[in-house]
Amino acid sequence: MFEKQQKLDVTADELAVIQAALHTQAKILNVQASAGGNAARRRLNEVKRALARISQQVEGTSPTGYRRFMGWFGFSRASG
């Protein structure tokens, strides 16, 4: 998988919106995949990979407060 990488200039707030949207998309795809949608399962895996890459980037370059916020966001998602 040799995809061309491109740098984007996004703010922490914009990145948080993107992550939230991807989490929502993952929830929708998870429901579709559990109903037997193979295409949804493939897309869900793509979304999860994208979220993992974004999380790695955020952890490596973000200020401590932003990381704390995203940790809380992840906790609130898992609990509800």
Taking only the tens place, the pLDDT of each residue in 36-80 is: 989 999 999 999 999 998 888 877 765 555 555 555 555 555 544
Q: Does residue 17 or residue 7 have the better pLDDT?
A: 17
The span from the CA of 40 to the CA of 28, in Å, is: 9
Instruction: Copy the structure tokens of residue 31.
Output: 């429901």
Neighbours of 5 (CB within 10 A): 5
Residue 59: what pLDDT?
77
Q: What is the DSSP string of 18-68?
A: HHHHHHHHHHHHHHHHHTT-HHHHHHHHHHHHHHHHHHHHHHHHS-HHHHH
